[in-house]
């Protein structure tokens, strides 16, 4: 079976909550969720933790994962350039990992790699 897991983390949620209130933080999370769910509409999306999401890419979404990741980045960039309101923007770090039957004993191995990739993406985004 071929699949990939994506892990998403909303950047700057604490800053938005602290500066504008938790209701604006909730709007920020909902905006992020809309972009994730719309982009990966053929895959299950799960919210875990306060501002983290995961997606399991299979079938058509798995086959088109590179194009979907690019579409996600383009959609987020378009939203961010259309508003200066921080809680309406979508700043999300993400990481993806493909299931590798040679090296993965279970789905947790894939999730750990995706999470590691997300933190690497977050680190790179903070430095730019």
pLDDT digits (tens, 9 = 90+) for 29-86: 999 999 999 999 999 999 988 899 999 999 999 999 999 999 999 999 999 999 999 9
- Report the pLDDT value the prediction gives residue 128, as an integer from 0 to 100: 75
Q: Summarize the confidence of residues 113-123 as an average pLDDT.
A: 96
- Report the pLDDT value the prediction gives residue 123, as an integer from 0 to 100: 94
- Report the pLDDT value the prediction gives residue 18, as an integer from 0 to 100: 96
**CATH code matching the domain that covers 4-126, chosen among 3.30.70.270, 3.20.20.150, 3.90.1150.10, 3.40.228.10:** 3.30.70.270
- Report the pLDDT value the prediction gives residue 50, as an integer from 0 to 100: 86
Cα-based angle 81, 85, 88 (whole degrees, multiple of 5) = 80
Q: Tell me the CA distances in angstroms from 46 to 40, 77, 81, 83, one per residue in order.
A: 11, 23, 27, 27
Q: Tell me the CA distances in angstroms from 9 to 51, 90, 105, one per residue in order.
A: 6, 11, 25
Q: What is the pTM of this model?
A: 0.93
On average, the pLDDT of the chain sits at 95
Q: For residue 40, which of 57, 22, 21 has the smallest C-alpha distance?
A: 57
Q: For residue 17, which of 91, 94, 87, 122 has the smallest C-alpha distance?
A: 87
- Report the pLDDT value the prediction gives residue 80, as an integer from 0 to 100: 95
List, for residues 20-29, the tens digit of each pLDDT value. 999 999 999 9
- Report the pLDDT value the prediction gives residue 49, as an integer from 0 to 100: 82
């Amino acid at each position: 079976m071929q699949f990939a897991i994506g892990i998403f983390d909303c950047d700057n949620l604490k800053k938005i909550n602290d500066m504008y209130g938790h209701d604006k933080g909730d709007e920020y999370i909902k905006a992020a969720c809309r972009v994730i769910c719309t982009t990966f509409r053929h895959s299950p999306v799960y919210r875990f933790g306060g501002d983290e999401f995961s997606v399991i890419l299979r079938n058509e979404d798995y086959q088109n994962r590179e194009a979907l990741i690019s579409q996600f980045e383009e959609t987020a960039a378009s939203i961010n350039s259309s508003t200066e309101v921080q809680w309406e923007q979508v700043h999300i770090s993400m990481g993806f990992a493909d299931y590798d039957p040679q090296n993965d004993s279970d789905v947790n191995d894939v999730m750990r790699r995706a999470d590691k990739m997300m933190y690497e993406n977050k680190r790179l985004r903070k430095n730019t």
